[in-house]
Structure 1
Amino acid sequence: MNTKRALVGVIMVLAFVMGSAQTVRQFRVKEFGAVGDGKTDDAKAIQKAIDACSSSGGGKLIFDAATTFLSGPIQIKSNVEMHLEPGSVLLANPDESIYKMSAFRTNPGEGTLWIWGEHFENFSISGTGTIDGNGIKFMGKELDDSYELKPFNVLDPRPHVMTLIDGKNIRIHDAHIGNSAYWTIHLVGCNDVVISGISLINSLKVRNSDGIDVDHSKNVRISDCYIESGDDCICLKNRREYEDYGVCENIVVTNCTMTSRSCAIKIGSENMDTIRQVLFNNCIIKKSNRGVGIQHRDEGVVSDVVFSNMIIEGHMFSDVWWGKAEPIYITAYRRAKINHKDANWRFPKGATEGKVGYVRNISFSNIKCYSENGVYVSAESKDKIDNISFDQVDVYINKTTSIVGGVYDRRPANVEGFVKGTTAGFYFDTAGSILVRNSSVVWGPNKAPYFKMAIEKKNLGSLKVQNFIGLSAQ
């Protein structure tokens, strides 16, 4: 009797599982007219499949294995899992004329939409295929350290790979996403996002090719990713164009490896609201022009951020890129007034000059830095940066390139952009309270004449140094 009951139970469970599996409907884009020859634009067919999947209550949108689907702009919808089978490629159409929608609402100067969605929920990307932004096709001439940017009139046609606006319950995992002409994954006003296990590889010569931009978004978890970007790998911000979405908060980044020609991990510079409650842990930064940067230039605030258990390797590149090999960088200066393609969006509406908010409660612990420059903290007044702690932060400085250093990069600020001076292990210029504890500075064998002090300080509210090891370089 007990055996019969057990068998009945097993059968019921199997029936439930099989029934549940059958409820996940599959929508193969080829069945909706996609050709998949890598030459025909399949956007209409793909959109038809997305619409059918969403309107039927949801399901799996499948891109067939070992097939390249060329596509212009497509809009994702709710309850869709975009599944890329092994060897499948979703490739951006290189025809600039088909990209009509600005990625920043009524600001047309910073790229267009390719894969995008707005006011949606329950969207995911899975599989080991590739989403390819075809970025090099949108570039000008290749230079030694970058590509030229093509001139444009009003609308910059370079497409962002993926722009997700006001999305909820988003999951992106395992796929290969990259070769972007502009930003790669842009989360705007999103809530409850998990990005895990992806490879995001852009050309290191493409300017503006950010990896993941977390903009006015909340409850975002990024883990186990490998990212290469000419511009920032992971950037937290609050852009003015989307100010209605409020603060950026509750962000966790862990177990990621990054390489950038600019700043691998950046907070700012666009921040007209609040960025708070942020954790970066267990990350490796390789050969980046700047490792970790809080680049504050607007009226918002940055608070309660923890960086821990990291290896940062700095490397100098040309002035095309942001940074001067600072492994850790915190600055707070009002934004420069410049004649820029989107200058009207840099300041509050009606203002011709901005102001900068504060940066507070920032902690660095167990960080190993290997670079051509040291840690840099600087602000326009002492109240703008306060309560910064460095615990077990070890800085090894050695000249490894022929690019002349002895410079800190404060662009884009209303003061001198490049500040010439001596290279210190820790350089503190105008801030409130700073703590350096259980840390060290070591100079490598290749010493430049501008390598000087282990710690250099100017105009600080207070500096506490405990259990520090380090001598001057000369």
Structure 2
Amino acid sequence: MMNIQKTYLSLFRIFLLCAVPFMGKASAEFSPQNDYSISAYGALGDGKHDDAAAIQKAIDACSAAGGGRVVIPAGKTYLAGPFKLKSNVEFHVEANARVLANPDEQVYKESAFRANVGEGTIWIGGERLENVTLSGSGIIDGNGVSFMGAELEDSYVLKPFNVLDPRPHVLTIIGGRNIRIHDLTIRNSAYWTVHLIGCDDVVIDNITLLNSLKVRNSDGIDLDHSKNVRISNCYIESGDDCICLKNRREYEEFGACENIVVTNCTMTSRSCAIKIGSENMDSINNVLISNCVITKSNRGIGIQNRDEGTVSNVIFSNILIDSHLFSDVWWGKAEPIYITAYRRAKGNNKDANWRFPKGATEGKVGAVRNITFSNVKCSSENGVYVSAESADKVSGIFFDQVDLHIAKTTSIPGGIYDRRPSEAEGLVKSSISGFYLENATGIKVRNSSVTWGKELPAYYGHALFSRKVTELQLLNFEGNAAFKGKTVAIKNEK
């Protein structure tokens, strides 16, 4: 028996001698050697002490070492003022961890729009970055209501400021390449939430973005002069636009906004769920938006061209839209689909000097062309609205299988189309049609319909109305007037 025990003991020792080196090697290969916990750099996570310096130290160390993952540990709230991301860094917020913007307005010094200091500041920023990821199942919280004034029925009062508007944008990346944002919850922005300027090769996937529906300017995702962007599987609630494509004048060196794909997203907005414009001093082109659900919104889809840039080659497909009226605080009058091209109003903004080309006191508007809507189902208090200052500004608009059900669902007065911010009249009183088309060229409406709800106000009218539209084609269009016998279903004016 003693010999057998000695034999087993000898074999066990041999096993350990062989296995330990292998186990050590495996441990070295697979342990998170490139993780940089912000706690190791002094972050307290008590929700009171500003941990921005510790976060910045961890980011700097990670980047200097060639890259890795900066970890925001679970279970704590890390209050932070501004800090900068760097190349080759993954900013990972663990489950049940929260990064919270410091509510002290004095810590926000850097303008989100360079020398134009009237439109907010940068909280989490970075410029000329490569290979940057924001990830994790935790929360990045902009602490937005802390920067607001008094609460009103459907909005907050905006606090006055002298020169710099201190409201922080949550994330601002300028000139980034290979940017990835996934799985996070980002919420409570005081201004724009995710602002990507001049970025190339971007993926935003499976994020939940929740802003207060009462906070003005709280855009969800703004793609500004950015290219080759894929947005998918996101849920977005924003007081202002949920997803917006634009070309701001402050960053004109970055060129066009193009090659954009948005799919499988659900959105709610008090302004416009999916918007192109209004700032567009370059070109926006090659855009595919599909398989989206828009609920409880003001506008559904909007192309709002107000500057000299152009919009072209855009396809919207397989989309459900539910839109309602809100107060005049918000641009829009429940138009489920909205296409307009008007010169921008002069002097109607706090930063009017930045709205026009350098040295100009008024602007021009570029063309909107080759836009397709396919299999779009709308329930709304208003109809499709297409309007431009002249017929050459909007052309090649194709509606295929676009079905509208129009009914009164709020107590807010209607009978208005909204063309703000426009040098032409902004809020236009009008009878409401299922499709209202004016000053355009080459509009085709095929396999589409308009139906009406019950107990309609008197301002509802035609199924389709057109004025000064050349090359209008109707193929298999179905729809009656809102009040049979009172007016015709289809009316065309020269």
TM-score interval, normalised by the smaller of the two chains: over 0.9
| Residue aligning to 1:336 | 345
CA distance in 2, matches of 1:287, 1:271: 27
| Residue aligning to 2:7 | none
- 1:213 lines up with 2:209 in the alignment: no
| Residue aligning to 2:81 | 72
| Residue aligning to 1:156 | 165
Partner SS for 2:47:
strand
Which of 310, 313, 318 is residue 304 of structure 1 equivalent to? 313
Matches within 5 A, 1:8-157: 21-22=30-31, 25-157=34-166
Deviations 1:416-436 (A, max 9, x none): 001111110000011011000
- 1:355 lines up with 2:364 in the alignment: yes
Task: Using the TM superposition, give the Cα deviation of residue 287 of structure 1 relative to its aligned residue in structure 2, in angstroms.
Answer: 1.0
CA distance in 1, matches of 2:284, 2:49: 43
- 1:179 lines up with 2:188 in the alignment: yes
- 1:423 lines up with 2:432 in the alignment: yes
Matches within 5 A, 1:316-335: 316-335=325-344
CA distance in 1, matches of 2:327, 2:401: 30
| Residue aligning to 1:370 | 379
Task: Using the TM superposition, give the Cα deviation of residue 289 of structure 1 relative to its aligned residue in structure 2, in angstroms.
Answer: 0.7
TM-score by length of 2: 0.92
Q: Kindly indicate whether the alpha-carbon contact (under 8 Å) linking 1:210 and 1:230 is maintained by their aligned counterparts in 2.
A: yes
- Give unpaired runs (5+ residues) of structure 2: 1-21, 484-494
CA distance in 2, matches of 1:221, 1:14: 41
Q: Kindly indicate whether the alpha-carbon contact (under 8 Å) linking 1:24 and 1:58 is maintained by their aligned counterparts in 2.
A: no
Task: Using the TM superposition, give the Cα deviation of residue 167 of structure 1 relative to its aligned residue in structure 2, in angstroms.
Answer: 0.6
TM-score by length of 1: 0.96
CA distance in 1, matches of 2:218, 2:26: 43
- Give unpaired runs (5+ residues) of structure 1: 1-12
Are residues 32 and 354 of structure 1, via their aligned partners in 2, closer, same or farther at CA, if it must alter by over 3 Å?
Answer: same
CA distance in 1, matches of 2:182, 2:91: 11
C-alpha RMSD of matched pairs (Å): 1.3
- 1:169 lines up with 2:178 in the alignment: yes
Q: Kindly indicate whether the alpha-carbon contact (under 8 Å) linking 1:24 and 1:60 is maintained by their aligned counterparts in 2.
A: no
CA distance in 1, matches of 2:418, 2:238: 19
CA distance in 2, matches of 1:141, 1:14: 61
Are residues 461 and 162 of structure 1, via their aligned partners in 2, closer, same or farther at CA, if it must alter by over 3 Å?
Answer: same
Deviations 1:175-201 (A, max 9, x none): 000100000000000000000000000
Matches within 5 A, 1:446-465: 446-465=455-474
Deviations 1:449-470 (A, max 9, x none): 0111000000011110001110
Partner SS for 2:347:
coil
Q: Kindly indicate whether the alpha-carbon contact (under 8 Å) linking 1:126 and 1:175 is maintained by their aligned counterparts in 2.
A: yes
Task: Using the TM superposition, give the Cα deviation of residue 152 of structure 1 relative to its aligned residue in structure 2, in angstroms.
Answer: 0.2
CA distance in 1, matches of 2:387, 2:435: 11
Tell me which amino acid in the other structure corresponds to 2:59: I
Deviations 1:39-78 (A, max 9, x none): 0000111100000000100111101111100000000000
Which of 227, 231, 234 is residue 240 of structure 2 equivalent to? 231
Are residues 312 and 113 of structure 1, via their aligned partners in 2, closer, same or farther at CA, if it must alter by over 3 Å?
Answer: same
| Residue aligning to 2:491 | none
Larger Rg: 2
CA distance in 2, matches of 1:446, 1:374: 17
| Residue aligning to 1:10 | none
Are residues 129 and 413 of structure 1, via their aligned partners in 2, closer, same or farther at CA, if it must alter by over 3 Å?
Answer: same
Deviations 1:7-61 (A, max 9, x none): xxxxxx9999876644750000000001110000001111000000001001111
- 1:240 lines up with 2:260 in the alignment: no
Task: Using the TM superposition, give the Cα deviation of residue 446 of structure 1 relative to its aligned residue in structure 2, in angstroms.
Answer: 2.9
Q: Which ranges of 4 or more aligned residues in structure 1 deviate by more than 4 Å?
A: 13-20
| Residue aligning to 1:3 | none
Task: Using the TM superposition, give the Cα deviation of residue 125 of structure 1 relative to its aligned residue in structure 2, in angstroms.
Answer: 1.1
Matches within 5 A, 1:198-209: 198-209=207-218
Task: Using the TM superposition, give the Cα deviation of residue 340 of structure 1 relative to its aligned residue in structure 2, in angstroms.
Answer: 2.2
Partner SS for 2:128:
strand
